[in-house]
């Protein structure tokens, strides 16, 4: 075996020191450090006992709407509680006065990469109000950063499907312009027609052979009903493992027995749940879902945009936040919080070449921590990030250049 780079003194999740051999951008072997003396390579890097973890999976973000790196835009409060249409209109006004979308997306991408994200799923508006313009812009940015991060793009109907003329046709056309996943949004609360909305989403998914990721802010039993319908369609089409529900706020609203019933339905259907542990809002109980066998993954969601002014693009910090708000305390529970932003995200996004294992692409992050539980609570910085075994971030600073 020809090794391109041998990484010595890498501290693994269990605290053991190991040597990681990389060949052709993939992990060729992981051996105890004591066995590394018999391994030869053209290049050797001593990591000095730094903790090595897989690159983070940013499972839910909006590259088209962030104002990160642009001028500060004060948050405009809701006038009468959570209202998607009101917020979309505020967003439209803000974006009309913002820096070019490609510039803002690049700023946000570089923030996420510098913090250790090597895989990403971004929702991009595709509907009758913006057409395919935002998707085409973000797809071009994705191409520029293809050597630094893998990005899945979700065709996201933020203005609704049935109530926004022309959107269904645009969602279908999005897959000729770089989209990878079909999205949806609050089929009952926004479009007032759960079956009609899901008919469009799942028909496109089946015909195009693409995964599904639906925003679901709907509260209480309305949200539970939508979850049941999504799960039923997933099972009927044999799409287990290819469908995600983002937010699923309703699972934080209802009684534990209802959560248990829905968790079992989700596990049987292979439907994943994304949470970002949002603000003061109730959110899905992570441990109850995981105990039932549901894949739970995480994302930043909005970063400094019209929905809220927070967000730093740090998925390790997001793991801490999810763990803190979920009451995760023991080492085993803190490792669950970490899984949500790493392997959980990889499962939800269908990433087969992920992780610190032989044959996976050598994407990893190094930091100063004794083990994963400490990393979750300490959120240590600076970090270095490796993509295919090549360092692209040194001590928190991006040192690799995207294609221009």
- 350-398: pLDDT as tens digits: 999 999 999 999 999 999 999 999 999 999 999 999 999 999 999 999 9
Phi, psi values for residue 21, rounded to 5°: -95, 130
The full 3-state SS of 48-87, as one line of letters, equals CCCEEEECEEEEEECCCCCCCCCCCCCCCCCCCCCCHHHH
CB 170 within 8 A of CB 126: yes
Q: Are residues 113 and 27 in the same domain?
A: no
Tell me what the pLDDT averaged over the chain comes to.
Answer: 95
Interatomic CA distance for residues 120 and 367, integer angstroms: 21
Distances (CA, A) of 32 to 9, 12, 125, 390: 9, 10, 47, 22
Residues 6+ apart with CB under 8 A from 117: 55, 56, 57, 58, 149, 313, 315
CATH number of the domain bearing residue 155: 3.20.20.140
CB 301 within 8 A of CB 275: no
pLDDT above 80 (res 61): yes
Residues 6+ apart with CB under 8 A from 119: 55, 56, 57, 58, 149, 150, 151, 345, 346, 349, 351, 354, 363
The count of domains in the chain is 2
pLDDT of residue 77: 86
Is this model's pTM higher than 0.75 or not? yes
Q: Are residues 126 and 224 in the same domain?
A: yes
Q: Are residues 61 and 47 in the same domain?
A: no
Q: How confident is the model over 131-147, as pLDDT tens digits?
A: 999 999 999 999 999 99
> Can you give the residue range of the structural domain that contains 266?
56-349
Domain-located, residue 401: no
Q: Are residues 189 and 313 in the same domain?
A: yes
Q: Are residues 242 and 253 in the same domain?
A: yes
Q: Are residues 280 and 243 in the same domain?
A: yes
Q: Are residues 299 and 179 in the same domain?
A: yes
pLDDT of residue 83: 78
Structure tokens given for 189: 């609360």
CB 45 within 8 A of CB 390: no
- 322 in helix, strand or coil? helix
State the DSSP H helix or E strand holding residue 291, giving kind and residue range, or none if neither: helix 286-291
Structure tokens given for 308: 């809220």
Q: Are residues 132 and 41 in the same domain?
A: no
pLDDT above 80 (res 162): yes
pLDDT of residue 217: 96
Q: How confident is the model over 289-298, as pLDDT tens digits?
A: 999 999 999 9
Comparing CA positions, the residue from 117, 102, 193, 191 lying closest to residue 148 is 117
Comparing CA positions, the residue from 213, 205, 166, 167 lying closest to residue 60 is 213
Phi, psi values for residue 73, rounded to 5°: -120, 110
Q: How confident is the model over 253-268, as pLDDT tens digits?
A: 999 999 999 999 999 9
Long-range contacts at 161-165 (CB < 8 A, ≥ 24 apart): 161/127, 161/185, 161/191, 161/197, 161/200, 161/201, 162/191, 162/192, 162/193, 162/196, 162/197, 162/200, 163/190, 163/191, 163/192, 164/127, 164/128, 164/129, 165/128
Residue 1's pLDDT band (cuts 50, 70, 90): low
Comparing CA positions, the residue from 204, 194, 256, 275 lying closest to residue 228 is 194
Q: How confident is the model over 174-230, as pLDDT tens digits?
A: 999 999 999 999 999 999 999 999 999 999 999 999 999 999 999 999 999 999 999
Phi, psi values for residue 149, rounded to 5°: -160, 145
Structure tokens given for 380: 């240590």
Domain-located, residue 399: no
Q: How confident is the model over 85-132, as pLDDT tens digits?
A: 888 888 888 888 889 999 999 999 999 999 999 999 999 999 988 999
pLDDT of residue 154: 98
CATH number of the domain bearing residue 370: 2.30.40.10
Q: Are residues 268 and 213 in the same domain?
A: yes
pLDDT of residue 82: 76
């Amino acid at each position: 075996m020809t090794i391109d780079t041998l990484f010595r003194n890498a501290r693994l999740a269990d605290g053991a020191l190991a040597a990681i051999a990389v060949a052709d951008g993939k992990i060729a072997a992981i051996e105890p450090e004591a066995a590394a003396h018999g391994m030869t390579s053209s290049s050797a890097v001593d990591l000095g006992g730094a903790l090595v973890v897989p690159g983070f999976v940013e499972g839910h973000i909006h590259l088209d709407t962030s104002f990160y790196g642009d001028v500060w835009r004060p948050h405009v409060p809701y006038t009468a509680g959570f209202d998607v249409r009101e917020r979309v209109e505020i967003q439209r006004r803000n974006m009309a006065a913002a820096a070019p979308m490609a510039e803002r997306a690049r700023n946000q991408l570089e923030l996420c990469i510098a913090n250790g994200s090597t895989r990403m799923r971004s929702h991009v508006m595709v509907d009758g109000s913006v057409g395919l313009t935002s998707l085409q812009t973000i797809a071009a940015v994705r191409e520029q950063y293809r050597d630094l991060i893998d990005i899945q793009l979700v065709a996201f109907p933020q203005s609704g499907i049935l109530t926004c003329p022309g959107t269904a046709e645009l969602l279908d056309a999005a897959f000729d312009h770089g989209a990878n996943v079909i999205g949806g949004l609050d089929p009952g609360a926004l479009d007032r027609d759960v079956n009609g909305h899901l008919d469009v989403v799942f028909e496109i998914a089946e015909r195009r052979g693409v995964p599904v990721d639906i925003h679901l802010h709907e509260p209480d039993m309305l949200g539970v009903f939508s979850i049941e319908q999504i799960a039923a369609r997933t099972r009927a089409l044999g799409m287990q493992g290819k469908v995600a529900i983002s937010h699923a706020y309703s699972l934080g609203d209802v009684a534990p027995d209802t959560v248990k019933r829905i968790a079992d339905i989700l596990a049987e259907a292979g439907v994943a749940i994304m949470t970002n542990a949002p603000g003061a809002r109730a959110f899905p109980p992570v441990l109850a879902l995981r105990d039932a066998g549901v894949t739970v993954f995480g994302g930043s969601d909005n970063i400094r945009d019209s929905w809220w002014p927070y967000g730093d693009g740090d998925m390790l910090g997001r793991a801490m936040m999810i763990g803190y708000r979920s009451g995760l305390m023991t080492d085993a529970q803190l490792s669950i919080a970490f899984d949500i932003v790493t392997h959980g995200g990889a499962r939800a996004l269908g990433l087969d070449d992920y992780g610190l294992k032989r044959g996976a692409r050598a994407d990893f992050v190094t930091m100063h921590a004794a083990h994963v539980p400490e990393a979750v609570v300490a959120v240590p910085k600076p970090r270095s990030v490796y993509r295919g075994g090549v360092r692209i971030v040194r001590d928190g600073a991006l040192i690799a250049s995207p294609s221009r």
